């Protein structure tokens, strides 16, 4: 009887251990830790790399959230309409293109050239909504297509979040409007763009000719016009 209980106990421990191991190897999303001054590890490295790629951070990629990283985070938050507290929580992770506070348990490194629909569709929809809310539907898709075309072009960041938050490339990032909740049309337009509809024929730029713009933009070849925007290469 005692031997049977011992066997059952050992079997139960084995099953629990196996389930725990398989769960943590299956890609189930695990919460990202909130990062504060003094935090360290791979999550800090991810944040430092993003901030470095976008020109906010000039220090070493050492995985330690010290003064330089803290100030870079605050600068990024301030310029992107977030509370500049230097803390990396769900909103800041999302703005950095690192997900909404969760990370796959099996994640071994970020692959910036991959556009994940689950992670990026709402970011693209927010950018479309902020830049083209009053435009015709095809104009919304066109804005999304331009942003995706930039992801694939060597002159631009190779991730959607990198393109959206690149300096002050989009007016809606500078004024914080990119954080507005998108409507159904903008979400649908984002899906259509992600599914390959490009009514701009490969354009990399769009602008409103009736608004003050850099004289340089007029050196671009205009390909097509939808609503109040022109699209060019």
Q: Per the confidence metrics, is the pTM higher than 0.85?
A: no
* Encoded tokens for 156: 């631009």
**Does position 25 have pLDDT exceeding 60, yes or no?**
no
Instruction: Give residue limits of the domains in the chain.
Output: 32-104, 117-232
168's tokens: 């002050």
The better pLDDT of the pair 233, 179 is held by 233
In tens, the pLDDT along 157-195 reads: 988 988 998 877 888 887 888 888 899 999 999 999 998
The percentage of the chain sitting over the pLDDT mark of 70, rounded to a whole number, equals: 77
DSSP3 helix / strand / coil % (the chain, rounded to 5): 50, 10, 40
pLDDT at 114 exceeding the cut of 80: no
CATH architecture of 32-104: Orthogonal Bundle (1.10)
pLDDT band at 15; cut points 50, 70, 90: low
Task: Please state which architecture CATH assigns to domain 117-232.
Answer: Orthogonal Bundle (1.10)
């Amino acid at each position: 009887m005692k031997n049977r209980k011992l066997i059952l106990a050992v079997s139960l421990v084995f099953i629990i251990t196996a389930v725990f191991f398989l769960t943590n190897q299956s890609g189930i999303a695990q919460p990202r830790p909130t990062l504060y001054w003094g935090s360290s590890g791979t999550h800090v490295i991810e944040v430092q790399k993003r901030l470095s790629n976008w020109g906010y951070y000039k220090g070493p990629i050492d995985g330690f959230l010290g003064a330089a990283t803290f100030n870079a985070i605050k600068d990024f938050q301030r310029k992107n309409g977030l509370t500049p507290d230097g803390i990396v929580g769900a909103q800041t992770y999302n703005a950095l293109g690192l997900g909404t506070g969760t990370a796959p348990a099996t994640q071994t490194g970020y692959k910036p050239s991959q556009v994940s629909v689950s992670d990026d569709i709402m970011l693209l929809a927010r950018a479309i909504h902020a830049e083209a809310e009053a435009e015709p539907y095809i104009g919304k898709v066109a804005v999304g297509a331009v942003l995706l075309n930039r992801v694939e072009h060597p002159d631009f960041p190779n991730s959607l979040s990198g393109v959206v938050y690149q300096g002050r490339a989009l007016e809606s990032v500078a004024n914080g409007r990119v954080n507005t909740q998108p409507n159904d049309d903008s979400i649908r337009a984002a899906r259509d763009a992600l599914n390959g509809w490009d009514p701009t024929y490969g354009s990399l730029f769009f602008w409103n000719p009736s608004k003050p713009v850099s004289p340089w933009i007029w050196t671009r070849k205009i390909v097509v016009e939808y609503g109040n925007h022109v699209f060019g290469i």
